[in-house]
Structure 1
Amino acid sequence: MPEELRDTATTLKTDDGFRLSALLLGDGPDGVLLDHEQGYSICSWLETGRRLAAKGFRVLLPEFRSHGASENDEENGRIGLDAKAALAELKRVGAKRVFLAGASCGGTTAIVAGEAQSLPVTGLLIMSSPATCHTVDAVLPVRRITAPSLFVVGSDDMLGAVEREVRILYKNSGAKDKRLVVDEDGFHGTDMLRRSRNHERIQTLVSEFVEKHARG
């Protein structure tokens, strides 16, 4: 973590008693949740989070249980509670609405936790997220999210298996304003923002979509 961001670190506590590390960047009433994929950490969304905070958004980057500096959970099956704890923290610190974003299972949990909480959802960004992850099933919740939604996936990710999963979420999305973007490279989640041959285009697409829809 960059030294200048160490004072933005915070700790979240889940409903089942686990302590999670997190970064809270920026301020204001427009909240943005950035959930990372399994096997990654806060760092996967860090540059995106910093850019959004500089634009006037209140951004929370939680670190799932058994990842990074968060407490270890040998079962690791209740990650939906981690996204729930992150959204509760955004509300506690003053967010009046929230934009949901997540990569891989982070997107699955963002959908489920975001649909169930009380803050208005202004938008949804999904990158390589399966319809279900562990015990978290996002198919019914995504039908109830009507905010503008963007689904991004690599065409060759796991030989097309991930694209099929993302298409399930896209098909079931309750948003009238929704878009599916398939990148021809096979990178997964936030790796598309850095490693795809089209990473600059994807970065611009993601940034413009969040900035457009995250404000109330």
Structure 2
Amino acid sequence: MVFVLLILLVTITGCSANMPASSNEDHSSTHLPQNTSPTIETGNETPEVINIPSNPSVEYDPAWPDQSVKSSNGHLVNSCVPNELRDKATTLSTSDGVYLSALVLGSGDKGVLLAHEQGYNICSFVDMGPELANSGYLVVIPEYRNHGASQNIPEDDQNIDRDADAALSELKRLGAKRVFLAGASCGGSTAIIAGVRQALPIEGLIILSSPAQCGPYDAIPSVRKIKALSLFVFSPGDYGGSIEKEVRKLYQASGATDKEQIVDESEWLSWNRYVS
């Protein structure tokens, strides 16, 4: 099955793919030439095998214990992750000492960060990750603090930008030389902010109904600095209709010469529909 978010990636990378019939592209102010590419190319590449020490497993209290299980190598992972992927689980440590559950899929020097929305979990992108890994990408899907199998820190739900930092650091540690950022809701906002302040060149950006302002974090200054091809998707029904203005702010502020804005006319942008 070809997943819709993968189609979005393929579309802005210049490969042949059709957008779902429910999408209505808004080209009124886009500069994105047809069939241009942010240098991510799909194909049946064999990922390079690298010998880098894995992260140790850690004992901590997961945010959602009833949805958390241990992988064969002792890492906590969300029970929504299929059995065949659970041995890809790892534990990340943030700069402020929070432990995150994450999936690491594929290998190579082309990294992809897939950042889920607040209130959901790693499985927003669990179908998408293997597709990208099989196409030759190193993919990290973190679960943010206070979500799923990541650490429960009830007194702190504001520092999720550090969670995105940790995921990007893991991509770099594992050999990524460039990164593609993709995120939903606040996952997209924090991916923008963290992506700009880390050292990996940004090859492309996909935003799915992400606010310009997520809690204390303003993504506008950072999105101005991203010059790579960028795609901004929203549904007018998301967040009671408030998200359209937010995504348009990001689109207008984007520093990319080649960018596109897509309006999904469904009542709301269902993450499950977009990845399954």
Counterpart CA distance in 1 for 2:169 and 2:270 is 24
Which amino acid in 2 is paired with 1:40?
Y
Counterpart CA distance in 1 for 2:228 and 2:179 is 11
Counterpart CA distance in 2 for 1:189 and 1:140 is 28
Note the C-alpha offset of 1:192. Answer: 4.8
Q: Which of the two has greater helix per residue?
A: 1
* 2:233 equivalent to 1:172: no
Aligned counterpart, 2:100? 20
Aligned counterpart, 1:95? 176
* 2:68 equivalent to 1:68: no
8 Å contact from structure 1 (residues 37, 189) kept in 2: no
The residue correspondences of 1:112-191 to structure 2 (distance < 5 A) are 112-188=193-269, 190-191=271-272
Describe the superposition over 1:118-167 as per-residue Cα deviations: whole angstroms up to 9, x where unpaired: 00000000000000112221000000000000000002223321011000
TM-score with structure 1 length normalisation? 0.87
Which amino acid in 2 is paired with 1:149?
S
Gaps of 5+ in 1: 195-202, 204-216
Aligned counterpart, 1:11? 91
Aligned counterpart, 1:83? 164
Which amino acid in 1 is paired with 2:102?
A
Aligned counterpart, 1:39? 119
Structure ranking higher on relative contact order (CA contacts 8 Å, 6+ apart): 2
SS at match of 2:126: helix
8 Å contact from structure 2 (residues 237, 269) kept in 1: no
Describe the superposition over 1:64-117 as per-residue Cα deviations: whole angstroms up to 9, x where unpaired: 000010001212011000000000000001001000000000000000000100
Q: Bigger CA drift: 181-190 or 143-152?
A: 181-190
SS at match of 2:234: strand
Aligned counterpart, 1:53? 133
Counterpart CA distance in 2 for 1:78 and 1:152 is 25
Counterpart CA distance in 1 for 2:104 and 2:92 is 11
Counterpart CA distance in 2 for 1:55 and 1:46 is 15
Identity rate, percent: 56
8 Å contact from structure 2 (residues 184, 208) kept in 1: yes
Which amino acid in 2 is paired with 1:54?
N
TM-score with structure 2 length normalisation? 0.69
What is the root-mean-square deviation in Å for CA atoms of aligned residues? 1.2
Counterpart CA distance in 1 for 2:257 and 2:229 is 7
Structure 1: 4+ residue segments shifted above 3 A: none
SS at match of 2:111: strand
SS at match of 2:125: helix
Gaps of 5+ in 2: 1-80
Counterpart CA distance in 2 for 1:42 and 1:159 is 24
8 Å contact from structure 2 (residues 164, 191) kept in 1: yes
* Greater radius of gyration (CA): 2
Note the C-alpha offset of 1:3. Answer: 1.4
8 Å contact from structure 2 (residues 115, 164) kept in 1: yes
8 Å contact from structure 1 (residues 27, 57) kept in 2: yes
* 2:110 equivalent to 1:30: yes
SS at match of 2:175: coil
Counterpart CA distance in 2 for 1:172 and 1:45 is 26
